Amino acid sequence: MGEASKVSRYLYTVIVLFLIWLFLTASLDPQEMLVGLLLALIVGAFTYEIFTTNGLANLSPRRIVYAIAYVPYFLWAMIMANLDVAYRVLHPKRPINPGIVECRTVLKSDVGKLALANSITLTPGTITLDVDGDRYFIHWIDVKDASVEGASRNITAPFEKFLKVIFG
């Protein structure tokens, strides 16, 4: 995906910062809103160049819907993985089979790669050690399939179907 225009990137940064401000102050007092808007405009002017490359394209309805749907999906994966690790810790024989596997990702954007790496790390049992281009090096507590394709199918693919739409 190419770089969006400066105006679009700036506007996107301002919108995101203003939303954060609204959550932060949790008040609809006009004074707070005005100061928040001013601050979003100022901070946005200084930081939009590093904050975003896609600009307003990030706010397409399809992406937002997928992003909202991703939250419960990810939380569920996190709960299940936590229970799985708790089972391994409490089990008298400690059934672990650790190892480092390599995965491939289909994600192109850096933000998508960051989201995938964090999703993998936050679901216990798998930890992202390093990301290099489209290769992920992952420490897996229970290696079921050491091949690149097999590991990708098990670890990265479940998240990718969402993240591919959200971040590209």
Partner 1 sequence: MMKRLLAIGLILVIGYWLANGLAGVPFGEDRMLVGQYYLDNVKQQTGAINAVTAVVVNYRGFDTLGEVTVLFIASTGVGALLWRRKKERTAEVEGSVVLTTGTKLLVPFVILFGSYIFIHGHLTPGGGFPGGATIATAFLLLYMAFTAYEIPHKGFEKTEGVAGMSYVLVGLIGLAIGGYFLFDWIWQTWKIGTVGELLSGGFIPVIYMLIGIKVGTELSGIIDNMIKEGVSE
Q: Rule CB under 8 A: which residues touch partner 1?
A: 13, 16-17, 20-21, 24-25, 29, 31-32, 35, 39-40, 43-44, 46-48, 50-51, 110-111, 113-114, 117-118, 128, 130-132
Residue whose C-alpha is closest to residue 120's, from 162, 81, 165, 72 = 81
CB atoms within 10 A of CB 75: 11
Residue type, 159: F
Distance from C-alpha of 159 to C-alpha of 155, rounded to nearest angstrom: 8
Give the nearer residue to partner 1 in terms of CB position, either 101 or 116. 116
- CB of residue 39 to partner 1, shortest distance in Å: 5
Cα separation, 76 vs 159, whole angstroms: 12
**Token digits for 165?**
């739409």
Smallest gap from Cβ 86 to partner 1, in A, equals 26
Residue 96 or residue 111: which is nearer to partner 1 going by CB? 111
94 or 132: whose CB is closer to partner 1? 132
Q: Of 23 and 89, which CB lies nearer to partner 1 in the complex structure?
A: 23
Hunting for tokens 């390093």 — which residue is that? Answer: 130
Cα(77)–Cα(124) distance, integer angstroms:
10
Cα(10)–Cα(140) distance, rounded to whole angstroms? 40
Closest distance of CB 101 from partner 1, Å: 17
CB of 41 to partner 1, least distance (A): 11
Nearer to partner 1, 100 or 114 (CB): 114
Residue 11 CB, nearest approach to partner 1 (Å): 14
